[in-house]
Structure 1
């Protein structure tokens, strides 16, 4: 499930009548199904409909077959090697981190080690309860799926999880790591620290990372992210705000690769669930214009603060999820200064059925359709806040998005009003503002 925002238009030069650049963003919500596709292109682990342990990892098959028992023992030795590597990573021992690997794997592992250390990794727990399987056409090589729990900066965080494939060569009592394959988990895809060299700036509430080529952007981005975090913290739903907001600033190539790429063409940024109640944020360096970063960060960090761990899957709630983020992005500015009013006006006058639950734009939607959709969501949320206050709006958000109650039930519970009546009131407000 995707939803998103378009890239800002280029601003005009001079003249008070020039329109300000518009901005749109995308949220890629986390899904319950996690599929790891290894480099051979064959689905290796599908965590649905299989026997699993309490953490959701595939459980080892039970068998008295000697070959299966030998494979389990080999898997245990691989797990012991991964534990040694994890200890080396956390203590800053690069030589120890590389020691379990074959020479051909060390260049990629060196890069991964450097990226993780730069991000100040504090937790790294690889676990696998599965049994390694032979690699076709590679005698003596084995593949083992591994779930890694990890934290950055904060030692006591609720860890995120990444599912990766590892390949090994059986070598006596100490199997050797041949390759660590990048995660292709749906929807998160490959994390930046898996595939890129990184430069990082760490603040009190935010961590900002990019490639070394864009390192000069980090001080300014961190200042903006710290300011946006203070706003986003106000819209935490279902618990405390994130301990840190993690923001990745992507160049052209990284935008196409990090977290799987493939976002709608009008996307300038997105938030993606990575487990542990966390959502990483990615900004498109090629799309941003001066003056458009602050509200973009407020918007995306609000997604990270407000969304449940599993994200949301009902497109009927798109208006509420994006409307809240737009409301936070506006940061209290008067409604008349909202940049998308012209697009709202065009949408209201044609091309929309007048239902909030049908507001989400298609991936290939025209820019004005996208802008109008976000604007209507913002105005609907703004009307509910003006009428009932921010806390009751957040209570409604929690009931609908976190608890997955119907809008009818949530409205009766939170507002004491029928949703059909409130829905019509929101539309009347949108039409009145749009003019």
Structure 2
């Protein structure tokens, strides 16, 4: 019998396993992952940005976890020699009506205790010579990293401490009992004292399999990208973002320098017809029917009809996608872009159509369900893991480590 079973081998599940060993060095841990490798879905398709936390409501989990997590992530990468770069980013106002929004965002960043600078068009040109803008916020602490590489290191740390990672293993049902939990998997059963659900795109289904009905559902939104051709990468020096539309939950198309040296442009955000649908042609009858019969989707669609329509236009029109990029860099042409792999975001939406905008953790009797871990979950993964471990019930009666900085700080 295991002390802990973690469902989901993405960056949040793996960071939780690492945090368990940091606090309970003698624990028996198993990570259950249905794919052939860890970090296969949201983590492996992540843009690789180390976020600062500037966008998030002061005092929210997202703001606190992001600010603390960006520092934890940098320290972890330094300690384990993982490629990363603190390249910084600029958030650019390209229209006069965006200036008040930029000012509000700057004030929010200061409330979140970030070391940021408000700069004018001249300073912006010095930082990003090819960007057109009336002004910007410079966020020097933003960076880039390969989160798959980070996750693989998390996994190796778990295994070094005696933990197991079971791949190609799917959870079918979870039975909570007074003394433990029985997990029905594709090949038999697993028994554990506590189950931690970090299943990302399937977190609501895993919660339901454990007998917990929530007032939310995970809906998949595909983020589609292009890459700049190698000869055009000089156009982007840092990370370049527009001022986000405060009425829309996504950040808008932007330019992201990758740790590989490539430059991604995007994403747009459209409903995927499959929870793991990375291509326009990917389709699951079950996933689509579940989404289309969910009242929360239609209520949300009504609120963002125009914005949603624009996203779909960009999805099918490279001309319109390019036009959006030209808002930031006028020199970009259609033939400067090549298709890039897409990602899928697990967005939790409530029955009333409102998006769950913060991390959301449900406590069961002997289960913990991370039912919403939106961006910046990768940046904040080390801090999220610590928070989950802090919520482990006292009745687990495990011996705690007195040297909690051996693995993670």
Q: Shorter-chain TM-score: what band?
A: under 0.3
Give the structure with the larger strand fraction. 2
Scaled by the length of structure 2, the TM-score of the pair is 0.23
Q: Which has the larger radius of gyration?
A: 1
Larger relative helix fraction:
1
**Larger relative contact order (C-alpha < 8 A, sep ≥ 6)?**
2
Q: TM-score, normalised by structure 1?
A: 0.22
